[in-house]
Amino acid sequence: MEKLLLLGDEAIAQAALDGGLSGAYAYPGTPSTEITEYIQHNKYAKEHNIHRDWSANEKTAVESAIGMSYAGKRSIVCMKHVGLNVAADAFMNSAITGVNGGMLVVVADDPSMHSSQNEQDSRYYADFAMIPILEPSDQQEAYDMVYSGFELSEQLNVPVMIRITTRLAHSRASVQRKPQQAQNTNKLPEDLRQFVLLPSIAKRNYNTLLKNQSEFKNRSEQSPFNQYTSGTDKSRGIICSGIAYNYLKENYGEQEIPYPVLKICQYPLPTTLIKKIYDECQELLILEEGYPLIESKLAGLFENPKIKGRLTSDLPRDGELNPNLVAIALKLEEKRNTKIPDIVASRPPALCMGCGHTDVFKAVNQVVETYGEGRVFADIGCYTLSALPPLQAINTCVDMGASITMAKGAADAGMKHVIAFIGDSTFTHSGMTGLLDCVIENTPITIIISDNDTTGMTGGQHSHAENRLFQICKGIGVPEEHIRTFVPLKKNHAEAVQILTEELEYEGVSVIIPHRECVRTFERKNKQRAKKKKQEASKTKS
């Protein structure tokens, strides 16, 4: 079989395709987006009609993946860590329904919050749901885990979580492919009430899940992804998980690691292996990316003082690990000079030159000068960057959809002239239900849906809102005369200010839809058009 040079995300996508995938479901989110994009552009996926369109949000994505599993086929659902909060209801209950076709839930965590609101660790969700986790330490393992993960899910009758982090998702390595597996054929679940979570059935299913825990643990004890390596120096043992194993190896290069090492990449925790290393060594150092999950579980299992890690300040409690931090914890010589040279200037992120959001914010800022500051409830998208100079236009950013509902709460509290600012993709992700709340109560609120025809922040994916915003808002019940639109350009500034002022004076729900395509998407489409033209021209010549 061929070898490919793949990002961690791409290794997951390729393994899913090779492993008999029938449907991928996802909402974009860094660092997980490239998994779905790889499947979307893949020739085999196109030829075999594998589902690969974006979903409206992570909850609808997980539910569709459960539906595909119900129908007997293999599904994968991909998201960033905070997406799992949105999908949590479906995700938690999927552990109780169990699966029919194999189902993998890939969650990409973002320790150090490179492009996220928090650095929550998705392993806690899988632990909460009591399902197995596979956490690759490198790209090959990411491939192997996904390839064999469908079968594991089918054998254990639960979804399996694949947990990765930013560095693995976005770095490349050589990956050895395995033979193509056929897709499952449609097959109903043997028990047609397996997925009916009425209390009587849910109780039975939950008991089965509880009973199966020992088998899940057994699989972890036997897993090829969990490896114990003995060492000569028993003054310390090292337990490491996921990419932290790579950081440990990087510190020793070709040299043997002198300490016993237990690599844990499949959960639930293999406690027999853990007990072995604990009994053998005088102290244990736990290296794990994210929150101290293993460390806190061990602290409950054994005598605490022997265990070192993030909770004992041997490693930082927050942020990403790296080979240097591991070297410091092991009291080795630091491998890299991490000091940033003075010549490197810090460059805060900013909206692109010519971005339509900027023109909208200029109008918002002018209007806010009249009504007083502190009233702009914003959302998550490129426009969040307007919090920074020079615009400094927004006052909140909490989670997707929260602009409308937070503004509503503030209006309920008696604040006047509140503005919610949301993007088109975020609106269809989770803003529509908040708008319905406002309509039902006729909340005095002005909602700006800044429509750039794309999901800009994550690289310009298709937006479910495309050409639908007016109809959606009208359908939800916003009076037609209070759905206003303008083109956000410098020359239309006065018009924008006037529309905003008029709607802020209206004591009910109004929606303003500034509409101009994202500059980056426009450029990309233009390039594609030019490329196509060139190809066609060369075809006619030959």
User: Residue numbers of the site for ligand SF4 (CB under 6 A)?
Assistant: 351-352, 355, 357, 382, 452, 456, 518-520
Residue 31 contacts ligand TPP per CB under 6 A? no
Per-residue binding letters, 373-402, with ligand TPP (x by CB under 6 A): -------xxxx----------------x--
Residue whose CB is less far from ligand SF4, 236 or 357: 357
- For 458-469, b where at least 16 C-beta lie within 10 A, e where not — what string? bebbebbbeeeb
Residue whose CB is less far from ligand SF4, 352 or 436: 352
Instruction: State the distance between the two ends of the chain, measured CA to CA, in whole angstroms.
Output: 36
Stretch that binds ligand TPP, among 26-34, 160-168, 190-198, 234-242 (CB under 6 A): 26-34
For 434, residues 6+ apart whose C-beta sits below 8 A from its C-beta are 401, 404, 405, 408
How many CB atoms are closer than 10 A to CB 40?
A: 18
- For 199-237, b where at least 16 C-beta lie within 10 A, e where not — what string? eebeeebeeebeebeeebbebbeebebbebeebeeeebb
Closest approach of ligand TPP to the CB of residue 45, in Å? 22
Residue 423 contacts ligand TPP per CB under 6 A? yes
Residue 32 contacts ligand TPP per CB under 6 A? no
Please tell me whether residue 197 adopts helix, strand or coil conformation: coil
Closest approach of ligand SF4 to the CB of residue 467, in Å? 17
Closest approach of ligand TPP to the CB of residue 142, in Å? 21
Q: Which of 7, 86, 107, 321 binds ligand TPP (CB under 6 A)?
A: 86
For 166, residues 6+ apart whose C-beta sits below 8 A from its C-beta are 30, 31, 108, 109, 110, 111, 112, 114, 320
- Per the document, the length of the chain is 542
**Residue 69 contact, options ligand SF4, ligand TPP, none, Cβ 5-8 Å cut-off depending on partner type:** none
**Residue 82 contact, options ligand SF4, ligand TPP, none, Cβ 5-8 Å cut-off depending on partner type:** ligand TPP
**Residue 92 contact, options ligand TPP, ligand SF4, none, Cβ 5-8 Å cut-off depending on partner type:** none
Q: Where are the alpha helices (DSSP H) in 223-270?
A: 244-252
- Full DSSP string of 6-48: EEHHHHHHHHHHHTTEEEEEE---TTTHHHHHHHHH-HHHHHT
DSSP state of 90: H
**Residue 355 contact, options ligand SF4, ligand TPP, none, Cβ 5-8 Å cut-off depending on partner type:** ligand SF4
**Residue 27 contact, options ligand TPP, ligand SF4, none, Cβ 5-8 Å cut-off depending on partner type:** ligand TPP
Q: Which residues in 450-469 contact ligand TPP (CB under 6 A)?
A: 452, 454-458, 463
Residue whose CB is less far from ligand TPP, 75 or 452: 452
**Residue 23 contact, options ligand TPP, ligand SF4, none, Cβ 5-8 Å cut-off depending on partner type:** none
Judged by phi (left if over 0) then psi (alpha if -120 to 50, else beta), residue 99 lies in beta
Distance CA 284, CA 259 (A): 10
- Residue closest to 277 by CA, chosen among 261, 299, 290: 261
Residue whose CB is less far from ligand TPP, 58 or 109: 58
Closest approach of ligand TPP to the CB of residue 50, in Å? 22
